[in-house]
């Protein structure tokens, strides 16, 4: 893929022109274009492998966000999403960032977490001592017997810790945490097998009973950080964005919506690349509440003449195994972004989430969200009201006028405008 992608005017192109443009920019191959034009996945064999009782596929629109320049590399971001204006807002904001600032990313930590629960232990101190005494042996054993594939790739189980949870009946619950570097896999299957395997030796060493074991989606031991800087920004705008950020940091009601906006950028890439977006969502929300109060996962501050934003969250994704490796659209999406490994993907995902958040905060503190949202929605309302291809330009134009005038628009407006147009047309051509 080239490093100076020129997609100016991309949104004005029609469907075929868009595909041709992406092919000429070497983002899509000839066979990708053929695959997309034929409607994507056609056979049911693959679906049968993923789910039970398959009856078909649910087609979500997939578009590309343009203008992303992350850590000195250009990206065209595939996004599978049904909500109008997300891709447009991401592309527009990414352009602003590219022209006036930068996006930098890093991954902090390598390990995912598995949990083994001992619901009620007789003596927590004795339990802890036993586990910690055996921890080196257990790590070696499980790496040899279960996680050897990870070890070969430079990962594997790294450590075991013990936590005490105080029960309301006065007893202690003990939880063993198992940390593992899953390399480029999301690692869910392996960490679950690791925990299952450790059950027997842990029960033997501690003389306690395991209740259950499963991975944790709150992966605070592997966090992805994205930082967006806008240089020489209009300070009035910058302070408005900072205040909007403070609102989400302080108030859970606002934080939920703020984080939803961040996930507007994150989920569509996870879907396009075949990743488990429910796992990432759960992790992001749990991390947002890590201090005992649900808060924002992004933070914007004015620093001198700059606006600096930061997102830190567990974004555990995979680039090998599962749907990612099997679904042709997922494989194509990874190729489009030239993704090298799981960390690379998580850094791109975090960047898009943060840029999406910036776009939303900028709109909310200036023109408001209705304008961008509804302008794009006008077309959908016109279609929903039943406008034909011929009637569309008139209905869209009229609805845009109403929107500018009244600052709101609904399906009843669309129906009214369409009926009016039809009445006028029938009067002209009785």
The residues annotated as belonging to the active site are: 83, 260, 276, 373
* Binding positions for ligand MEV, 316-375, rule CB under 6 A: 360, 364, 369
Closest contact distance (angstroms) between CB of 260 and ligand MEV is 6
Residue 320, helix vs strand vs coil: coil
Q: How many angstroms from the chain centroid is the CA of residue 237?
A: 27
* In contact, 199 and 141? CB cutoff 8 Å: no
Give the nearer residue to ligand MEV in terms of CB position, either 67 or 258: 258
Taking CB under 6 A as the rule, which mask of x and - marks residues 21-40 in contact with ligand MEV?
--------------------
User: Which range, of 14-22, 101-109, 255-263, 301-309, touches ligand MEV by CB under 6 A?
Assistant: 255-263
Closest contact distance (angstroms) between CB of 177 and ligand MEV is 33
CA distances from 264 to 70, 121, 307 (A): 18, 43, 22
CA distances from 120 to 69, 124, 353, 416 (A): 52, 9, 41, 66
**Binding of ligand MEV at residue 260 (CB under 6 A)?**
yes
**Closest residue to bound ligand MEV by CB:** 261
Residues 238, 170: Cα–Cα separation, whole Å: 51
257: exposed, middle or buried (C-beta count within 10 Å: 0-12, 13-18, 19+)? middle
Residues 310, 325: Cα–Cα separation, whole Å: 31
Beta strands in 243-355 (DSSP E): 298-303, 306-313
Residue 73, helix vs strand vs coil: strand
Give the nearer residue to ligand MEV in terms of CB position, either 256 or 286: 256
User: Which range, of 90-98, 108-116, 259-267, 273-281, touches ligand MEV by CB under 6 A?
Assistant: 259-267
* Of the residues 130, 172, 258, 365, which one makes contact with ligand MEV according to CB under 6 A: 258
User: Which range, of 41-49, 252-260, 267-275, 320-328, touches ligand MEV by CB under 6 A?
Assistant: 252-260
Alpha-helix runs per DSSP H in 289-341? 322-326, 328-336
# residues contacting ligand MEV (CB under 6 A): 8
Give the nearer residue to ligand MEV in terms of CB position, either 124 or 287: 287
* Binding positions for ligand MEV, 93-122, rule CB under 6 A: none
User: Which range, of 5-13, 30-38, 175-183, 254-262, touches ligand MEV by CB under 6 A?
Assistant: 254-262
Closest contact distance (angstroms) between CB of 198 and ligand MEV is 42
* In contact, 109 and 217? CB cutoff 8 Å: no
Give the pairing type, strands 306-313 and 298-303: antiparallel
- Sheet containing strand 101-108, edge to edge, reads 73-80, 62-70, 101-108, 223-230, 306-313, 298-303
Closest contact distance (angstroms) between CB of 262 and ligand MEV is 8
Give the nearer residue to ligand MEV in terms of CB position, either 261 or 353: 261
**DSSP assignment letter at 12:** G
Beta bridge partners of 87: none
Give which of 157, 99, 107, 162 is closest to 132, Cα–Cα: 162
Phi-psi category of residue 36: left, alpha or beta, with phi > 0 → left and psi -120 to 50 → alpha: alpha
Closest contact distance (angstroms) between CB of 358 and ligand MEV is 10
**Binding of ligand MEV at residue 261 (CB under 6 A)?**
yes
Closest contact distance (angstroms) between CB of 364 and ligand MEV is 6
* Of the residues 134, 161, 229, 257, which one makes contact with ligand MEV according to CB under 6 A: 257
* Of the residues 67, 105, 181, 264, which one makes contact with ligand MEV according to CB under 6 A: 264
Name the site residues for ligand MEV (rule: CB under 6 A): 257-258, 260-261, 264, 360, 364, 369
């Amino acid at each position: 893929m080239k490093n100076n992608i020129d997609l100016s005017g991309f949104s004005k192109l029609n469907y075929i022109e868009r595909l041709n443009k992406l092919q000429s920019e070497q983002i899509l191959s000839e066979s990708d274009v053929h695959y997309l034009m034929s409607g994507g996945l056609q056979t049911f064999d693959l679906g049968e492998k993923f789910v039970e009782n398959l009856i078909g596929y649910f087609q979500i629109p997939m578009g590309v966000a343009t203008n992303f320049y992350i850590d000195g590399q250009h990206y065209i971001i595939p996004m599978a999403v049904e909500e109008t204006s997300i891709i447009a807002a991401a592309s527009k904001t990414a352009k602003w960032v590219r022209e006036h600032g930068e996006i930098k990313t890093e991954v902090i930590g390598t390990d995912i977490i598995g949990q083994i629960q001992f619901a009620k232990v007789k003596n927590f101190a004795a339990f802890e001592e036993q586990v910690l005494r055996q921890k080196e042996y257990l790590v070696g054993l499980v790496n040899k017997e279960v996680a050897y594939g990870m070890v070969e790739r430079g990962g594997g189980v790294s450590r075991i810790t013990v936590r005490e949870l105080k029960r309301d009946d006065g007893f202690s619950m003990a939880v063993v945490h198992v940390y593992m570097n899953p390399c480029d896999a999301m690692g869910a299957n392996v960490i679950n097998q690791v925990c299952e395997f450790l059950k027997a030796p842990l029960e033997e060493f501690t003389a306690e009973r395991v209740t259950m074991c499963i991975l944790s989606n709150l992966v605070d031991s592997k966090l992805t950080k994205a930082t967006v800087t806008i240089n020489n920004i209009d300070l009035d705008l910058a302070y408005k964005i900072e205040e909007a950020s403070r609102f989400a940091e302080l108030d859970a009601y606002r934080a939920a919506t703020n984080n939803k906006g961040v996930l507007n950028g994150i989920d569509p890439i996870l879907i396009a690349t075949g990743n488990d977006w429910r796992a990432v969502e759960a992790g992001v929300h749990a991390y947002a509440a890590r201090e005992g109060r649900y808060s924002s996962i992004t933070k914007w501050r004015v620093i001198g003449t700059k606006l600096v934003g930061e997102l830190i969250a567990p974004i555990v994704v995979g680039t090998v195994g599962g749907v990612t490796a099997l679904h042709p659209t997922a494989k194509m999406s990874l190729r489009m972004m030239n993704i090298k490994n799981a960390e690379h993907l998580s850094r791109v995902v975090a960047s898009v989430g943060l840029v999406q958040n910036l776009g939303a905060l900028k709109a909310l503190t200036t023109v408001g969200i209705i304008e961008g949202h509804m302008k794009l929605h006008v077309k959908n309302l016109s279609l929903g009201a039943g406008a034909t291809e011929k009637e569309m330009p008139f209905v869209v134009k009229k609805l845009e006028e109403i929107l500018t005038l009244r600052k709101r628009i609904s399906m009843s407006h669309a129906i009214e405008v369409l009926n009016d147009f039809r009445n006028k047309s029938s009067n002209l051509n009785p």
